[in-house]
Amino acid sequence: MVCQNCHQSDPANRVNVTRFPAIKGPASSGLTCLGSHVRTEFVAETLLPTTDGDFRIRAYRSKGSLRESEPIAMVVGDLQGRTSVPVRVHDQCATSEVFGSLKCDCREQLQYAKEFILEHEGVVIYMPQEGRGIGLANKIKAYSMQENGYDTVDANRVLGFQDDYRSYESVQFILKDLGIQSIRLLTNNPRKLFLLGQLCVNVEGRIPVIIPAGKHSKEYLVAKSKRMFHLLPKENADTEEDTMSTDESLDEEDGGL
């Protein structure tokens, strides 16, 4: 089964925008799953020595009716036939990963995932989907809206964008290509778990990605928790309840993911 759906506004209108969460629950279309006819192919593989350790890096090319992209898989270990493999599906964030922005925790999440994979064997799948799919220039435009008091969700909305344009069909192909039978997903985002489940990826559990909030990223993380329902520790989420555990298994009550 695949997911079928897999100009600046006056700040005075802001209250009308912020009434609604970004995603109302797992069945919401707030996070779309675009490109149901995506075709992904393997391109090349090579050894990639890094400051953290050695990875096998595999390049792919995905083509579909709505977008083309070149996902990357950073692999540690022989994963053929393996179950419960640690997997991070990481969406590109050039502002933090290249330019060092402190506005989000994306760079730290990527670093955490690479170190985890090196220790436990698994794969980081790097998806070129900047700014939840709106692109780098539009993301910077949204950043400018945040200077006017909008959070990350409303900044996109007042610019005319949906909450999320990311697509994960190519992840399904990459996992099959690597021979992985089931995964534990490194994520704080329950919506990503749901979408991968819709693509028939066998997700056995969730591994939280624990990154302390910084001075510049605090508001962003609060918005992710309150508006997009990310599962964050209370010091990041600005809530009374700690929604994060060290590792989680998913059962039938979680939608069979």
Structure confidence by residue, pLDDT tens digits, 192-208? 888 898 888 999 999 99
Q: What is the CATH number of the domain that holds 55?
A: 3.40.50.10990
Query: What percent of the chain has pLDDT above 70?
Result: 67
Q: Which range of residues forms the domain containing residue 31?
A: 22-251
Active site residue 164: yes
- Among candidate residues 91, 105, 151, 164, the one labeled active-site is 164
166, 184, 191, 206: which one is catalytic?
Answer: 166
Which pLDDT value is given to residue 156? 73
* 184, part of any domain: yes
Listed range (58-67, 116-125, 128-137, 210-219) with the worst mean pLDDT = 210-219
Q: In whole angstroms, give the CA distance from residue 129 to residue 89.
A: 11
User: Does 154 participate in catalysis according to the annotation?
Assistant: no
Residue 235 maps to a domain:
yes
User: Which among 132, 121, 159, 118 is positioned nearest to 17, based on CA atoms?
Assistant: 159
Number of folded domains in the chain? 1
CA angle 193, 166, 3 (to 5 degrees): 60
**pLDDT average, residue stretch 39-43:** 91
9 domain residue, yes or no: no
User: Residue 239 above 70 pLDDT?
Assistant: no
Tokens at residue 134, please?
């709106």
pLDDT, averaged across the chain: 75
* Residue 89 located in a structural domain: yes
Residue, of 249 and 6, whose pLDDT is higher: 249
pLDDT at 227: 57
Give the CA dihedral 84, 92, 196, 177, nearest 10 degrees.
-60
Residues 144-154: tens digit of each pLDDT: 777 777 776 77
Q: Which helix (H) or strand (E) holds 113?
A: helix 106-120
pLDDT at 231: 66
Within a domain: residue 1? no
Which is more confident, 166 or 42? 42
Residue bearing the bigger pLDDT, 253 or 248: 248
Q: Tell whether the model's pLDDT for residue 5 goes beyond 60.
A: no
Cα distances from 118 to residues 59, 66, 109, 207, in angstroms, run: 19, 34, 14, 15
- Judge whether 172 lies within some domain: yes
Cα–Cα distance list, 138 to 44, 135, 143, 156, 228 (Å): 31, 6, 9, 9, 20
- pLDDT at position 195 is 85
Three-state DSSP state, 58: strand
- Higher per-residue confidence, 146 vs 127: 127
pLDDT (0 to 100) of residue 24: 39
Domain-located, residue 12: no
For strands 122-127 and 85-91, give the pairing: parallel
Whole-number pLDDT of residue 135: 76
Report yes or no on 70 lying in a domain.
yes
pLDDT at 251 over 70: no
Tell me the average pLDDT across 163-178.
88
For the whole prediction, is pTM greater than 0.85?
no
Question: What is the arithmetic mean of pLDDT over 91-103?
Answer: 90
Task: Name residue 58's beta-bridge partners.
Answer: 45, 73
